[in-house]
Amino acid sequence: MIDTCICYATDRGYLFPSLVSAMQARQHASKAKSDIFIVGVELDGRTVDLFRRICDSEGIHFLPVPKSSIGSTPAAMGRLFLADLLPAQYSQLLYLDGDTQIVGSLDPLLDANLPAGKFLAADDPIMFEFESGVYSYPQHFQSVYRGEKPTYRYFNSGVLRADRTTWSSIAARALALYETEYGTERGRLWRFADQDALNIVGGSSRIPLSLAWNFPIYLRDAGLHLAIKPSIYHFMASPKPWQGSFRPWNAKLFLPYLEAIHRYPELADYRTALSGTNHLRYRVQQRVKQVSTLYWWKYSGRCQLILDYEQSLRAGAPASRGQIASWPVNPAKLEALANAGPEVG
């Protein structure tokens, strides 16, 4: 019996991109190692019928649940309820946000032998901003660390690898903290409510993960993908890849959404479209961001901070205060950062 589950949790808004990511995960994860689930929150009957049929065709399990299954929290916090919602046979979980693309094998991540009480997650880019001395939202970190220096490195919650028991405990404590603090003065300073709560309660249990497994797409403009060789791209800001071919990605990363709609035309209703004005605005915005990324990441100390973080992980050395990563958590060799400019496309 398979005991490992790759899972997504979403409402209608991210259902289409979650499906595309899940289809890619099915291609890049051995069927003998894992099953794949999309947990769909508060969906109408037509949507449930359509996505169940498509998921069945793609070897993906579709699990619709009522809004009551996640209480009064938004669907984005569905990851905190996975241990309650997924079938009992799955003791190992790999959670992925819906705005991800899978471009390499997931098997090494699925095979990770987790110490008891620990889980894997990659540093959030704002950690490197903080370490470089230039961080635009100091109140945010003050709210997370109660005005003290970070005790543990701040992680991104878009890719999480955990055993079910550990995740059930951490998620329950994060949810309790969210319900207590959100709306208070401290909670209002949280930029990412569930992620901040998870960092507060789970920082001491997190083993750092290579950015190869959770690569911020905008770092392609800094050329860091050439060194890190991502297996998972994470599209952390707008625009999103299903909305068009924008920098810093290219048509190749837009194509999977078009291919999914070509295969299942009914999915077109679930793809968020852009008006001509917004499309043009994003094209200009992304070119401006390219220049900003080159300045703040490629030609600054942040780039070296990331490479040092990656090197320490691949050497199996500590990458977080008080923690030890006991194995390299990225299957690829860290290559020298190319001097060439960003890719065109």
CB atoms within 10 A of CB 146: 10
Q: What is the pLDDT of residue 338?
A: 39
Q: How many domains are contained in the chain?
A: 1
Tell me which residue range forms the domain holding 113.
4-230+294-314
Torsion angles phi and psi, residue 277, rounded to 5: -65, -45
Q: Which residues contact 18 (CB under 8 A, 6 or more apart)?
A: 8, 10, 38, 98
Residue 215 Ramachandran class (φ > 0 left, ψ -120 to 50 alpha, else beta):
beta
Residue 300 lies in a domain: yes
Specify if 325 maps to a domain. no
Strands 92-96 and 119-122, bridge-based pairing:
unpaired
Q: Is residue 320 part of a domain?
A: no
Q: Which residues pair with 106 in a beta bridge?
A: none
Kindly write down the DSSP assignment for every residue of 121-155, as one continuous string: EEBPHHHHHHHTT--S-HHHHHHHHTTSPPSS--B
Q: Residue 147: its pLDDT value, please?
A: 78
Residue 258 belongs to some domain of the structure: no
Helix (H) or strand (E) holding 10: strand 4-10
Give the pLDDT of residue 222: 92
Tell me the CATH number at 112: 3.90.550.10
The amino acid at 323: Q
pLDDT score for 101: 98
Residue 324 placed within a domain: no
In 10 A of CB 290, how many CB atoms? 17
Assigned domain for 149 exists: yes
Residue 338 lies in a domain: no
CB atoms within 10 A of CB 281: 13
pLDDT below 70 — which residues of the chain?
315-345
In a domain, 153, yes or no: yes
Rounded CA-CA distance 323/161 in Å is 17
The pTM of the full predicted model, rounded to 2 decimals, is 0.92
pLDDT in tens, 17-73: 999 999 999 999 999 999 999 999 999 999 999 999 999 999 999 999 999 999 988
